[in-house]
Amino acid sequence: MRICLLVEGSYPYVVGGVSSWVQMLIQGLPEHEFFLYSIGAEEKDRGNYKYKLPKNLVGIQEEFLDSILKLKSKSMRENILSAQEREVLYDLVVGKKPINVTELAALFTPEHMKDGPLTIFMSSDFFDVIQRVYEERYSYLPFTDFFWTLRSMLLPLFYLLQQELPEADVYHSVATGYCGVIGALAAEVHHKPFLITEHGIYSREREVEIIKSDWAKGDFKSVWIQYFYNLAKLSYTTADHVYTLFEHNAEIERDLGCDPEKIGIVPNGVHMERFEHIPEVQQHEGPFTVGAVVRVVPIKDIVTLLRAFFLVQQELPDAELYVMGGLEEDPDYYALCQQTVEMLQIRNVNFTGSVNVVEYLPKMDVMVLSSISEGQPLAVLEGQAAHRPFVTTDVGCCRELIYGPSDDHLGAAGSIVAPMDFEAMSGEILRLARDFELRRKMGNIGYERAKRGYTYEFFIESYRKIYEQEKEVRR
């Protein structure tokens, strides 16, 4: 079977939880061929892979959104869309009705695109639709700003919809954004099954980013946020099945309009044997060591971690912090983190870059996750497989990983604090620092929880069965 995996902003260019999940999935199912459709931000990343590609990954189609900057505009064209096609465009922007993906595909026929990817944008039809949306919903905003916002919002999707669609037996997207729409369209065109695995809730994550952003101003933030919810709705409607990692995510998907009958839960899995040589937490001489396996990007909120560690050092002056994860994804945010260290005069902070965590975890007394959004973080599962207690923010599946699901009576494997609450985070780190037996007990509980419910073997066998079942889906 050939499976087309559709990814966005992750594998194989970025090291992280979703990328590791993709690598593990492909490696664990050598009986299948995988083809990767990868959407990246910048052309400079082409061929710059951070992973050794498995042998059964037989091809990659790389699409980069900065290619849009090279597009040339041609003269205005009149009335190139039918009335029905204009309604599809209207519904895509407004998001009140489910969009038929076949009707959306009809917008991108060679007839409509004879002048290139900008054809629709240089048409009277596009102007008329945007003017209608503006007058009905956004007339309190400046029209010129609204028009160019909508144009820049739709252009990446329209550009991708005009690229070649790969052929496969199953289409499997790891998000409901651009790659979810492309997967839906490819499945429709080739009459094949389409499934989604959502790690974090894509539309919710985009909402958080947009609210915090500087590039979207004022009321235009709500325009962007609604658009990404529209893409999610289209993906959910078209998918044959939607998988997520834990029950709370499934509840959110249902609230966002996904048919409950489509939703299944398959948790992440960790290679327990990778960590079997790591003993439980040890009492030792020397500094107390705090670790975080995390990419240095805003959504991981390293600044909150640094502020918490600053407070920890007020009581434990020799304490050390290791931030273990890629530094190159967002250089401006890494610079902000360094400025925070210098401004607060925090000592013993080590930004290691990407490392083999198996070599570092034995040195850690406690692990921390400071994210403002997560799915089911592999970093926590791997830390638990290494017997390490955790302090995490209350995001994604962290509460379930730390305190256990309802049928798990093992106890706490650490503690949970609110996102961005650096004072509570420092307090929990210090509580663990003062109590070796508590650290040891919590670390062992985490190990047992990972061993019982989050193994690599269960994860792979689940998707082996899922792909076999998808063969029976016909469109």
> Helix-strand-coil percent breakdown of the chain, rounded to 5?
50, 15, 35
- Alpha carbons within 13 angstroms on the beta-carbon side of residue 422 total 12
In the predicted structure, residue 114 carries a pLDDT above the cut 80: no
Which amino acid, 125? D
pLDDT digits 0-9 by tens, 178-223? 999 999 999 988 999 999 999 989 998 899 889 888 888 888 888 8
DSSP code for 282: -
- Which pLDDT score, from 0 to 100, does residue 96 have? 74
Cα–Cα distance for residue pair 160/148, rounded to 1 Å: 19
Q: Where are the beta strands (DSSP E) in 102-227?
A: 170-173, 194-198
| 2-70+164-269+460-470 classified as CATH 3.40.50.261 | no
Among 387, 365, 369, which Cα is nearest to 436's? 365
137, two tokens: 């919903």
311, two tokens: 């407070």
In the predicted structure, residue 98 carries a pLDDT above the cut 90: no
Work out whether the CA dihedral 471, 33, 243, 193 comes out positive or negative. Answer: negative
Question: Could you state, in order of their start, the residue ranges of all structural domains in the chain?
Answer: 2-70+164-269+460-470, 83-153, 273-453
What are the Cα distances from residue 275, in Å, to 26, 278, 365?
21, 6, 16
The angle, 0 to 180 degrees and rounded to 10, between the axes of the packed helices 83-94 and 220-238 is 110
Among 349, 348, 397, which Cα is nearest to 249's? 397
In the predicted structure, residue 403 carries a pLDDT above the cut 70: yes
Q: Can you spell out the DSSP letters for 197-252?
A: EESS-HHHHHHHHHHH-SSS-TTHHHHHHHHHHHHHHHHHHH-SEEEESSHHHHHH
| 273-453 classified as CATH 3.40.50.2000 | yes
377 touches 397 (CB < 8 A): yes
In the predicted structure, residue 475 carries a pLDDT above the cut 60: no
Among 354, 245, 292, 335, which Cα is nearest to 14's? 354
Question: Helix or strand or coil: residue 327?
Answer: coil
82, two tokens: 């039918």
pLDDT digits 0-9 by tens, 229-264? 989 998 999 999 999 999 999 999 999 999 999 999
339 touches 333 (CB < 8 A): no
Ordered strands of the 263-265 beta sheet = 57-64, 33-40, 2-8, 170-173, 194-198, 241-244, 263-265
269, two tokens: 């899995």
Question: Which secondary structure element, helix H or strand E, spans residue 384, and what is its range?
Answer: helix 378-385
Task: pLDDT band for 373, please (50, 70, 90 cuts).
Answer: confident
Please report, rounded to a whole number, the percentage of residues in the chain having pLDDT higher than 90: 69
In this chain, the answer to whether the domains covering 2-70+164-269+460-470 and 273-453 adopt an identical fold is: yes
Does the bond joining 12 to the residue before it have cis omega, within 30 degrees of 0? yes
